[in-house]
Amino acid sequence: MELTFERDDLLYALQVLQGVASGRNTLPILSNVLIHAEGNSIECMATDLEIGIRMKVEGKVTEEGAITVSAKKLGDIVKELPGDKPIDLATTANDRVELTCGDGVYKIIGMPDEEFPQLPAIEGNAVVIGGETLRDVLQKTEFAASTEEVRYFLNGLYFNFLDDKTEVVATDGKRLALAHCEPLNSPGEAKGFIVPLKAVREIERTFAESGEVNVSVFENQILFTDGDATLTTRLVDGEYPSYQKIIPETSEGKTIVSKEHILRTTRRVAVLSNPKNFSISLEIDTEQIRVSAKTPELGEAHETLPVESSTGTVRIGFDARLLVEAFAHIETESLSIEFSGELNPVLIKPVGTDNYLTLIMPMRLEPAA
């Protein structure tokens, strides 16, 4: 096999594929990337048997062939090569890969392509989703997904295909994030499915610049493709909880405040929150919010900030980490905090749009002194 690449084209593909190939794999070949050239087409592939990514790479094919080589070693070498000189890649005897760039020659031990697992092909109806829309709903929700293995069905994002919209949901039991977009036809027979969290992160990386993405589902597999890159992954097998039941339909109080102001204030005060539970207090009234934290071993802090509008009063406790993440994922200048008592779920929403919300379960506070 003899191929020629521009350095940036090859490097981009390798950087995307390393997210899958660089994991802790028991099979050595799963740490490799498969390079396959046929006709005028070059494809690079990586898989960990759960997620598989195939990418087309621009390049010149002088001689067809296929080989697998360490994704990390190849990526590290290509990253350091000059960007203004072409890279020649050729296979030699005993599954060796030889890279030539300018005066530099690099020889890497590879493995035959016959041992590389085949990526599944999924045939079925595909739904088209805008790339920006896909990235937006993933980015707004993935932070709330559980990373604990006990409730594995929460280790991903739930896509719920409704008649009037498509909802994307993540929860870890302490908080919930929900984003929605225009209604999409379900690409499979089921009205919803759970995409594993690891795959979500690879989807964002793989389709970071895509204008449109086609999504297909077949049995327990889902496929995303934009024509140049294809990602397949197993779906999480389990029934997602009825999240709609815990989202309050009404609230007793609602406060609107500057997003940046309350985010920065919460971050500062949280420095003196208890490192065991990161407890922080919000005291809300019709004119202001008082943010405070107190830890006997560390000290205490409080700040007061004005509100844009407010109805109702409450003193409510939160895990400061959850609160900061919720505020940080609001993209509008102002946000609303909706509450109904000190122990009921609190909703945090952007002001000016109704396509996103975060729900946080409060913490029980010590009585005010």
Q: Output the CA angle 89-92-95, nearest 5 degrees.
A: 100
Tokens coding 72: 């990390």
- Residue 206 pLDDT level (bands cut at 50, 70, 90): very high
Q: Rounded distance, CA 98 to CA 96, Å?
A: 7
Residue 368 pLDDT = 61
pLDDT digits (tens, 9 = 90+) for 134-170: 999 999 999 999 988 777 889 999 999 999 999 999 9
| Any domain includes 288 | yes
C-alpha dist (Å) from residue 3 to 33, 68, 293, 324: 15, 14, 61, 49
92-108: average pLDDT: 93
Distance of CA 319 to CAs 94, 112, 298, 347, Å?
57, 51, 17, 14
Across 239-266, average pLDDT: 94
Whether residue 238 is contained in a domain is answered as yes
> What average pLDDT does the chain have?
92
Q: pLDDT tens-digit profile of 326-368?
A: 999 999 999 999 999 899 999 999 999 999 999 999 998 876 6
- Model confidence at 53: pLDDT above 90: yes
Count of structural domains within the chain: 3
CATH number of the domain enclosing 298: 3.10.150.10
Kindly state whether residues 101 and 21 are assigned to the same domain: yes
- Give a yes or no: residue 240 inside a domain: yes
Query: pLDDT, tens digit, for every residue of 55-90?
Result: 999 999 999 999 999 999 999 999 999 999 999 999
At 59, which amino acid appears? G
Position 98 pLDDT exceeds 60: yes
Kindly state whether residues 103 and 162 are assigned to the same domain.
no
Q: For residues 355 and 309, is the Cβ–Cβ distance under 8 A?
A: no
Same domain, 294 and 352: yes
Task: Give all strands of the β-sheet with 192-196 in edge-to-edge order.
Answer: 192-196, 156-161, 166-171, 175-181, 356-360, 346-350, 334-339, 253-258, 309-311
Are residues 352 and 253 part of one domain?
A: yes
Residue 257: predicted pLDDT: 97
Find the domain containing 144 and state its range: 126-173+182-245
- Predicted local confidence at residue 218, as pLDDT: 83
pTM for the structure as a whole: 0.89
